[in-house]
């Protein structure tokens, strides 16, 4: 099978590489508007050919969208308008409610499977792609009941071919949960990076004094704006609520420190330690 990969960055590029490696597809064509990325993707062998959107989707039985979530939402109807009737489209973006809503009444809705591989790094572009990115990770499929059974089966086998574990949920729930466990931690990392960079005048001090703890906490601050601004905006409602809750805890810490309230700080940290239950499962 030939797949058309729209967007040849970390996610799209890694998908092309790993699906060719495991034989799920035999050939990948790419759609990529950035000519430098397009050339790089060809040089790196991520795809065999870079083609126009129309050519790519009309000649492939599988189309995989791996572009920023606002672009995916804007494009999905047009793609469903033009694909052959037996073709299947999936989207790998980090928010799912918007794109599902955009095509809820589309006559070809059944050919679309909304999914989200919980995998990524803080790096971007075709050079960041690698063929084991998805290995052993979790894949989420949203609103599976509105996809055609054969389309759903194809995307399920795609994920399973990558040794991924599947989970299913409504797209709305997906976005709420992701606000907590992914989008919030990106914002906290961005704010940490900003605070340290803008206030610590001598970057040598950051480099000298930062231990592995800082590196770990600030790692996500390297993540790309073109990918993350659309995610934050698409998940606005949930994120505003989550941010308020987070800032409230920061204020609790501030008050505890200000008032030298040993007991409150102790209790906050001990409650936070509960994260071990999850991280060490």
Asked if 69 and 230 touch (Cβ cutoff 8 Å), the reply is yes
**Which is closer to its own copies, CB of 26 or CB of 249?**
249
**Which is closer to its own copies, CB of 145 or CB of 202?**
202
Least distance CB 245 / its own copies (angstroms): 5
Verify binding: residue 37, its own copies, rule CB under 8 A: no
Helix axes 236-258, 184-199, angle to 10 degrees: 50
Verify binding: residue 67, its own copies, rule CB under 8 A: no
Binding part of the chain for its own copies, among 32-40, 57-65, 71-79, 265-273 by CB under 8 A, reads: 265-273
Strand-pairing partners, residue 6, are 31, 65
User: In the sheet where 88-91 sits, what is the strand order?
Assistant: 49-50, 27-31, 2-6, 62-65, 88-91, 112-118, 138-142, 165-169
As a whole number of angstroms, the distance between CA 75 and CA 103 comes to 10
> What secondary structure does DSSP assign to 106-150, as a single string?
-TTGGGEEEEEEE---S--SGGG--TTTTTT-EEEEESGGGS-HH
3-state SS, residue 88: strand
**Which is closer to its own copies, CB of 105 or CB of 260?**
260
Q: Which of 55, 30, 32 is nearest to 45 (CA)?
A: 30
3-state SS, residue 157: helix
In the region spanning residues 129 to 168, those forming contacts with its own copies, defined by CB under 8 A, are 137-138, 140, 167
Verify binding: residue 201, its own copies, rule CB under 8 A: no
Among positions 23, 35, 107, 213, the unique one binding its own copies when judged by CB under 8 A: 213
Binding part of the chain for its own copies, among 22-30, 49-57, 97-105, 212-220 by CB under 8 A, reads: 212-220
Least distance CB 24 / its own copies (angstroms): 22
Binding part of the chain for its own copies, among 5-13, 51-59, 73-81, 227-235 by CB under 8 A, reads: 227-235
Binding part of the chain for its own copies, among 6-14, 30-38, 79-87, 230-238 by CB under 8 A, reads: 230-238
């Amino acid at each position: 099978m030939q797949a058309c990969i729209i967007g040849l960055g970390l996610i799209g590029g890694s998908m092309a590489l790993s699906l060719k490696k495991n034989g799920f597809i035999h050939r990948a064509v790419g759609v990529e508007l950035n000519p430098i990325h397009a050339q790089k993707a060809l040089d790196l062998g991520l795809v065999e050919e870079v083609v126009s959107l129309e050519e790519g989707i009309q000649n492939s039985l599988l189309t995989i969208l791996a572009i920023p979530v606002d672009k995916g939402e804007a494009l999905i109807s047009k793609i469903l308008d033009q694909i052959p009737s037996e073709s299947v489209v999936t989207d790998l973006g980090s928010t799912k409610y918007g794109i599902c809503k955009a095509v809820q009444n589309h006559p070809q809705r059944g050919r679309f499977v909304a999914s989200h591989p919980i995998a990524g790094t803080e790096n971007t572009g075709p050079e960041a792609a690698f063929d084991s990115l998805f290995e052993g990770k979790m894949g989420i499929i949203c609103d599976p009941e509105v996809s055609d059974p054969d389309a759903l089966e194809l995307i399920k086998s795609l994920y399973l071919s990558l040794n991924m574990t599947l989970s299913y949920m409504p797209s709305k729930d997906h976005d709420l949960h992701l606000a907590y466990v992914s989008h919030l931690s990106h914002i906290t990392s961005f704010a940490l990076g900003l605070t340290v960079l803008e206030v610590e005048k001598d970057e040598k001090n950051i480099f000298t004094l930062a231990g592995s703890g800082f590196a770990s906490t600030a790692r996500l601050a390297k993540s790309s704006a073109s990918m993350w601004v659309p995610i934050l905006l698409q998940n606005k409602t949930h994120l505003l609520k989550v941010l308020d809750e987070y800032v409230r805890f920061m204020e609790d810490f501030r008050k505890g420190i200000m008032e030298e309230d040993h007991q409150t700080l102790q209790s906050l940290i001990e409650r936070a330690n509960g994260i071990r239950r999850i991280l060490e499962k």
